[in-house]
Amino acid sequence: AQTVTQSQPEMSVQEAETVTLSCTYDTSENNYYLFWYKQPPSRQMILVIRQEAYKQQNATENRFSVNFQKAAKSFSLKISDSQLGDTAMYFCAFGRQGGSEKLVFGKGTKLTVNP
Amino acid sequence: EPEVTQTPSHQVTQMGQEVILRCVPISNHLYFYWYRQILGQKVEFLVSFYNNEISEKSEIFDDQFSVERPDGSNFTLKIRSTKLEDSAMYFCASRAGGTIYFGEGSWLTVV
């Protein structure tokens, strides 16, 4: 079974600075996806970024980028130029490619962006 | 941008009552899911649904739970006899390609 670990329950960053959220996972699969989802106080689950395991290039989406280290099974999220609206819970998730492709989530990191 | 919609956004029910949570997945998606998030905890997979049948379910998804796609658009989660511990946010999701898109959730409170 796959597991996802987020070792930072809470983090804070000053507005306009950069912060990195950590995620590690355990799997014997070779083909899979990794995701970061943002959950603001409204509790909606918003997709931030996605990475296919077969791709060596790290995914980027505007101010959000990942550092994907397949051998180390590490998938960190970097948020550049942090904004107050980035304040939220961030969940790392693993999805095996094929079959139902259900997601396995980490416990989340609560990020606070301070003005 | 197409989105997954869920109703109701919040429901309060008496313990032992039946609850139906409704979802309209994104129209061209083929896989549908229900996830649950108890307050302060991580999101947990309940069930996946493909081609009008359950493709996978978790140990949480016991006989009290059922899913149905009664027509071409709706996807429902039924809890037959609610318990206090069923209080949670229930997320519907649908998938195309490798990405799962979530609805805004239905917050269920069992009293």
Provide mean pLDDT across the span A49-59.
94
Closest chain A residue by Cα to residue B107: A43
pLDDT of residue A100: 76
Q: Which of A16-25, A60-69, A72-81, A91-100 has the lowest mean pLDDT?
A: A91-100
Q: For residues B76 and B67, is the Cβ–Cβ distance under 8 A?
A: yes
pLDDT of residue A8: 96
| Contact check, Cβ <8 Å, A91/B41 | no
Burial A7-29 (b: 16+ CB within 10 A, else e): ebeeeebeeeeebebbbbbebee
Residue A21 binned pLDDT confidence (cut-offs 50, 70, 90): very high
Contacts of residues B80-83 at CB distance under 8 Å and 24 or more positions apart, as own/partner, are: B80/B18, B81/B16, B81/B17, B81/B18, B82/B13, B82/B14, B82/B15, B82/B16, B82/B17, B82/B18, B82/B19, B82/B108, B82/B110, B83/B15, B83/B110
Residue B21 has phi, psi (to 5 degrees) of: -105, 135
Closest chain A residue by Cα to residue B50: A100
- Which residues from B are below 8 Å from A106, CB to CB? 42
| Contact check, Cβ <8 Å, B105/A45 | yes
| Contact check, Cβ <8 Å, A45/B102 | yes
| Contact check, Cβ <8 Å, A102/B104 | no
Closest chain B residue by Cα to residue A90: B42
Q: Top-level CATH class of A3-114?
A: mainly beta
The ranges assigned to domains in chain A are: 3-114
- Give the tens place of pLDDT for each residue, B26-72: 988 989 999 999 998 889 999 999 988 999 999 999 999 999 998 87
| Contact check, Cβ <8 Å, B44/A106 | no
| Contact check, Cβ <8 Å, B100/A103 | yes
Question: How does DSSP assign B20-82, residue by residue?
Answer: EEEEE--TT--EEEEEEE-TTS--EEEEEEETTEEEEE-TT--TTEEEE--SSS-EEEEESS-
Between A71 and B98, residue with greater pLDDT: A71
Q: Is the pLDDT of residue B2 over 90?
A: no
pLDDT of residue B98: 78
| Phi-psi region at A62: left, alpha or beta (left = phi > 0; alpha = psi -120 to 50) | left
Q: Is the pLDDT of residue B9 over 80?
A: yes
- Which residues from B are below 8 Å from A52, CB to CB? 98
Q: For chain B, what is the mean pLDDT?
A: 93
Provide mean pLDDT across the span A92-102.
87
Interface residues on A facing B, Cβ-Cβ cutoff 8 A: 33, 35, 37, 42-47, 50, 52, 91, 93, 95, 97, 99-108
Q: Is the pLDDT of residue A1 over 90?
A: no
Residue B50 has phi, psi (to 5 degrees) of: -145, 135
Q: Is the pLDDT of residue A58 over 90?
A: yes
Q: For residues B7 and B108, is the Cβ–Cβ distance under 8 A?
A: no
Which domains does chain B carry? 5-110 (2.60.40.10)
Q: Which of A27-31, B32-36, B97-101 has the lowest mean pLDDT?
A: B97-101
Pairwise CA distance, residues B67 & B60, whole Å: 13
The whole-angstrom distance between A82's CA and the closest CA on chain B is 24
Between A1 and B93, residue with greater pLDDT: B93
Q: Is the pLDDT of residue A113 over 90?
A: yes
Q: Is the pLDDT of residue A38 over 80?
A: yes
pLDDT of residue A68: 97
The whole-angstrom distance between B111's CA and the closest CA on chain A is 21
Q: How buried is residue A85: exposed, middle or buried, by Cβ count under 10 Å (0-12/13-18/19+)?
A: exposed
